[in-house]
Structures are given as structure tokens and as C-alpha cells.
Amino acid sequence: MSQYQAGDLIQKRCMKCFHDEAKVMKVERREFKEKSAVILWCQCPECGMNDDELIPQDEVVDK
């Protein structure tokens, strides 16, 4: 299972300029009652728009 780190490029479409990649700025791990999740704070390298992505821990796959 892959671990995301700040500085990684991920496949995520920007809602502003529709660029296909985003740079991970910050990774937060969250524990809920029954599941764990990862929140990726991302930024588009083309236009600079900030966004986030909530990923359940069991769906994290190899990059």
C-alpha cells in the first residue's frame, strides 16, 4: 500500500483549468469510529487552485 507525501503528483482534475494533475501540499490521517481516511490537500501546478481529496484508507492504492 502506498503512502502519500507532500510533494507527490497525483491524478486529479482541476475544477478551474481542467489540468489532469495536482501536487499534494499536506497529508492528514483521520480516524473515525469504524474506518480510517486520508485527507490530501492539493494544489494545481498550472493555475494554483487549492482543493482537497478524502480517500478511505482501504481504497489507497499503489501510485
Residue 14 has pLDDT above 50, yes or no: yes
In a domain, 3, yes or no: no
CATH of the domain at 48: 2.20.25.420
In a domain, 49, yes or no: yes
Question: Given pLDDT bands bounded at 50, 70 and 90, which one contains residue 17?
Answer: very high
Q: What is the pLDDT of residue 55?
A: 84
Tens-digit pLDDT profile for residues 24-62: 999 998 888 888 889 999 999 999 999 998 888 765 544
In a domain, 1, yes or no: no
The domain tally of the chain equals: 1
Q: What is the 3-state secondary structure (H, E, C) of 2-62?
A: CCCCCCCEEECCCCCCCCCEEEEEEEEEEECCCCEEEEEEEECCCCCCEEEEEEEHHHCCC
In a domain, 40, yes or no: yes
In a domain, 2, yes or no: no
- Which structural domain range is residue 39 located in? 9-59
In a domain, 4, yes or no: no
In a domain, 45, yes or no: yes
